[in-house]
Each structure stands twice: as structure tokens, then as C-alpha cells.
Structure 1
Amino acid sequence: MPETAASATTSPLSDRVTVMQESATIAMAKKCRELIAQGLDVINLSFGEPDFQTPQYIKDAAKQALDDGFTFYTPVAGIPELRQAICDKFKRDNQLDFQPNQIVVSTGAKQALANAVLSLVNPGDEVIVFSPYWVSYEEMVKLAEGVAVPLVGTLENEYKVTAAQLEAAITERTKLVMYSSPCNPTGAVFSREELGAIAEVLARHPQVYALADEIYEYINFVGEHVSLAQFAEVRDRVITVNGFSKGYAMTGWRLGYLAARPDIAYACEKMQSQITSGTSSIMQRAGLAALRGGRASADEMVAAYRRRRDLVLDIVKDIPGFKTPTPSGAFYIFPEVSAYFGRTAPDGRTIGNAMDLALYLLNDALVSAVSGDAFGAPNCMRFSTAASDEKLAEAFRRVKVSLAKLS
């Protein structure tokens, strides 16, 4: 269709979509796939996806659901038996008491996070986001017309925000605090003492709620996982989000959930009812089987992730200019790489920032990683360690060689 004068100067798109950034992890993965389609041997370390297969007993439950004809609409908040199993999981793993009416099952943990943000945040409300943060947090706040307030942890403290930082950042407009533990992208894990201090701060500010993203709960190398909702003084103001993608290697199944006090849970259910309604009936039966099957498969994956983390750290310690804290969980490393800014590539291009460096490594080393800008840390880069030992060793060998070419 020929372009008219009007269409050349105006756009029919809403302001909310034009100001929204595309997910940087998805964008880099897209570039990676384009090179792979050209026949290039690219090692993709940009995506946060387990390379393990979903355990067979979970697949079998999905097949059985199909055979049983379990293919109809489900309640918006999830089938009753799954919501009860999630309550049982919280009691077993987190010593938290929830009732099924406090659980909302969603099409992935990302939707659960969006439900909570859209249900709580009004235009102009401030949302403190612990930084570095997962790429979608800030965009969700924008979508709700809130004001994201990044609060940056220091490298020396494994990028973890302190209670004192939080206290200083809270204003009369603060409505919500968002964070993840174990953290994507840093792998940092908040201790009981650290979250206890944060809970004390929040207790002094009753207008402030907290959104705790615990999707990496099972991928923890330090032992104890602590939930902010375990602290009685703030329990009713914490929304806890979790899901199946990481701990059960179920990324493509798109199944997550949140737990909150009943009025907030109902608000999230109402929000979801107007967007997707209940998530897939088949996936919910699979999730039920996953929870009933326990953590054995997750523990096996954690052992592999720990080994891979140590393998990668052993290589990168010999890469000049990489400042890499040891991750306590998740499956990423998040080095500070600013030592390479201002250097020149063999083709004469200057590495001005982390995005330039990520693109250089993609094209020269054929290794895909994500610039830290998207995570609120412009001097850093995120590399996934969710790949085989052999691929990781080869990837970081290539990275080391390519970085040595910069002058």
C-alpha cells in the first residue's frame, strides 16, 4: 500500500508501546539465531534457558492430561488441585502458610509479575527496583505509568542493595519494591540477615509493598533460600512470584504463579481475566506433577550448574579486565567489563560501551551475550552458563582470544 502524507508523519501506535524497549535478551537471541541461520557456529550465552530436558514424569503427566480429555477452559487463577499443591510447596520449602484463594497461576512468572505491577501501581507511583535487575522490571513499571527508581548495589557487595540504601531511597511516593533472589543477572542471593534488615525498613513504611521474584529459588549454591514473606512484620505486603521454568526445566511450558494476601491475589486474578484468562489446562497438570514429584531433578541440575559456574570462573579469572563476583545462585556470570571501553577492534571500530563489546564478541568470537545496559548496569555484561561444559569452555576460550585483539 502506498504511503500517504499522513502515515509518513504520524504513527497509529500508542505512547506506551513506543516508549517500551524490546527485551534485550530476546533481541540478542534473535541476532544470534540470524547468524546461526547463515551457517555460523555461534554459541548462544544470551538466553536464560536451562539446556536440560523437562523430566520425563512431567511430560508423561501432560500426555495423560491429553488422553484424559483435559482440554477445556480452567478457572482464571488455576485449577484447584494445582493451587493447593502450590500452597503445600510454600509450606514445605518456605515455611509459609497460604490458602488457595491467595494463589494465582499464570502463563509464566513474567505474567505473574506484570499482573502484580499493574494491580498495584498507579500513574506517578515510584517503584524502587534493586539494580542490576531483570530486563522486564522497568518496562513493566512504565506500562503501569509508574516511575522506576533503580537502586544500585555495589560490585563489592555482589551487587546487593543494602537496607540503608533502601531507607534512603523511600519517599512519600514510593509504592513498591521489586527484586529477585537468586538474582538475574548477577546470581547474588540475599541472606536471612540482609532480608531481615530490609523487612525492618519496609515495616517502618506501611505504604510500601514488595514484589519478590523467586523464580531461581532452586538454583542456589549456598544452601538456604529465604523469602521476604517469612518476616511477619511485612508478610501481608509481600507478593511472592515463582514458577516452573528454571527449577524444572520447563521454559517453553509457560507456567508461573504468585502468592499474596487475598485482596491482592484477587486483583491479579481480575487483571489476568481480561488478558489471558486461565493458562493452559495441559500445562497445569504438568505443573501439578512437577510439584508432587519433589526436587530431585532440580538438585541434579544444580550440581551441574555449580560445576559449570566453577569451570567458567576458572577461565575468566585469567581474562584481563573482567571483574567477576562469584554467583551464589542462578546460571549467569555478570562481569564488569569497562576496562575494554575505548579500545579499538581490528576493523578500526571503537568499543564505546558494553553493547559495542557484546556485538564485537558476537561477530568476532561468535559468542552471544547481553549488554548490562538492559539490566541497569551499563558497565557489565551477562553470560549464561546454562550450556554444556564443552560449549562453555569453547565459548570463553573464544572470548579470551577476541578480547586480546582489542588495542
Structure 2
Amino acid sequence: MADNKLPLRSVFAPVRALFVGDASAGILLILVAAAAMLAANSTLAGEYDALFNNTFAWYPHEKLKSLHYVINDGLMAIFFFVVGLEVKREVVCGQLATPEQRRLPVLAAVAGMLVPAAVYLVIAGGEPQLIRGWAIPAATDIAFAMGVLGLLGSRVPASLRLFLLTVAIVDDIGAVLVIAIFYSEIGSQELMWIVASLVVLGGMIAMNRAQVSRTWPYIVAALLLWVCVLSSGVHATIAGVAAALTIPMHRKDGNSLLEKLEHGLAPWSAYAIVPIFGFANAGVNLSGIGMDKMLDPLPLAVAAGLVVGKQLGIFSCIFIAAKIGFAKPPKGASWTEIWGISILCGIGFTMSLFIGELAFPGYRLLIDEAKIGILAGSVISAVLGYVVLRLTTTHPNDRTAESDPA
């Protein structure tokens, strides 16, 4: 039996254990997306729409007036809290802890956000109302992508699994910054709430510095921070990330509070919150939408950004960095395998759906068109990436010693 005083990260490897080599979270998302599409295009379409979009008889806040709002502004704050915990742990003592470890994933993630955005703008930028959607194809869905890798079993080198995970972590950081900077609406009357948010956040930082290790003070403060941010014009999910960064990593009895929270919340995030979000947001009623609509600038731009932009940006970045000696590519992986991983980064389900909702508030047709592009681009990337990796990788028992692709 393992010593219960061992750090939780060494026993459970919290988030990584959920995804690496395990297809279950990704398969669940696929099933949820399919169920949402079936519900939105069946005799239950009216009930599906009413369930999420009908206004409650009573609600405590304008941004909590329907189940859709509660999921996107409430439950997803927990998802972002888990993301923040993962990011902090990786930066402090994980795969992003040193400049050498950060160099290639950060560079690849940045290229993997900028190039899809550029592809989107080339196709859709001619229409001013569509420009706000530039960030939709910029995000990678970690659960979906790692789920596809899980279907391949041990064929894919461990270095590539780790690379995809670290790129997705950096990608999440970038997506959070994009939401905070470009998709928050702050007016003069919201400034007091921003000040209140900063005061609460300062209190949480003070608790960290004082080495407060009890859970409940942080939970109470995080809820208060969420209420303040919800009212501030900054998207409420940012409170989740900000709160997570204040959770202490100093150890008591071998385990840190951050690791305990991450281990406790990660399964709920991966297997409950994200699927609920997916079911609430992936359903698109296709009645009246023909193939001609599929080629409209918005869905075409989103799909092209995910399928073409992601792989072009990430693969080119790795190749150039290796050739000029700036960073080494993943060890033991061929260039075709690296290309396959780059394609999988075009799976943009969860974060892309989230940004799509923020990009076109109140424009249901544009949101639905963005969803079509997201679903199409993600499915194409998943299938193409799987095929490339399935045809170019071998079982480790059959794999001969390979040198680095550089």
C-alpha cells in the first residue's frame, strides 16, 4: 500500500492521470456532442431549447437568469478554477517549471493561436460583424484531444503525449487572457465591482502568504470573488483562474492544499461540468441550414482555422525551432508523428464553444454557425489526426530505436 504521506501529485498525477492513456473523457465528450445535436434536431428540440434558455421565474442576478447562464457563468468557473490549479502546479513544479521546459510548448501554443486567428480573419475578416470571432479557432480541447490519443493506446510516444498536454496547458492560459482582455465589457458603473474583486483577491493572496492551509477560507473567498467578478463586466470564469492562482502549494503532511483541491475537483470537472457544458452548448438546429450555409464565411473560417491553422502554426513552429537550434522537438518522435499531434491540436470543442458564445452575444444565428464550424473542424481534426498517427506509429514492442527528428 502506498504511503499516505506521499505527495498527491506523485501518487495520482491529478489531471494527467485522467487524460493520458485514457480515452474515457474524450469519448464522453463525443457522446455528449452527438446527444446535443440529436436533441436539437428531433421532436425534443423545443424542450431542449426551453430547458437551457427559458428565463427563471426568479433569479438573483441578471447573468444567472437561465440555466444556460448558470452553466456558462457558474459551473464553468469551477472548470477554470481547475485549469488555474493545473497551470500553477505545472509552472511551479511541473512540466513548465524551467525555461527549457517552457520554451517549445509556449512557442508552439502561441503559434497555434495566432495562425488559426489569421486564417479565420483571411476568410471572414471582410465582414465587420464577424471579426469578433477571431479567437474561436485558437483553443485546443485537452480532454477531447487526449481522448483521441487514448484510443491509440501505447502506440504514441510518451514524449508526444506530454508535449500535447503542455501545449494545451499553455493554450488554456492564452485563452483565459483572450477572454479577459477581448471579451469582457466594463463600464464606469462596474468599476466599484472591479475594486471589490481586487480587494478580495488581495485577501486571498494575504492568506497564502500567511500560509493558511484550511480549505474553507479559500472556498468562501473564491465564492465572494466570483460574485464580484460576475458583476464587474469581466467574465465570471476569470474569477476561477484568479482564485486558483492564490491556492498555496506549501506542504503540510506531504500534501499541498492545491494538490488536494486539484485531485478532488478534476474528476468532477472532466466527467460532469465539461459534459454538461457541452450538452448545453453543442446543440444546433440544422433545419433550414443547407450545404450552402456550411460554406458561409463564419463556419468555413472557424473550421479552416482549426483544421489548417492549428497544424500549420504548431508544426511549422516546431520544425523551425528545431532547425535553428532554439528548442529540441519531442524526443523519440518522427516528423510524421509530430504532424499528427499538430493536427489533433485542431480539436477545439469546449473552449471554442465558450468563446463563440462570448463573441456574438445575442446573435443566435452567428453562434449556431460558429458551432457548426467548431464541430466540423474538431471532427475533421480528430479523424485526420487519428488516421495519421495510426498509420505512422508502431507498438512500442515493434518500435526500433529512433533518433530525434532533428
Per the TM superposition, whether the score is higher than 0.5 is: no
Q: Which one has more relative contact order, counting CA pairs under 8 Å at least 6 apart?
A: 2
Query: Shorter chain as normaliser: what TM range?
Result: under 0.3
Q: TM-score, normalised by structure 2?
A: 0.25
| More helix by percentage | 2
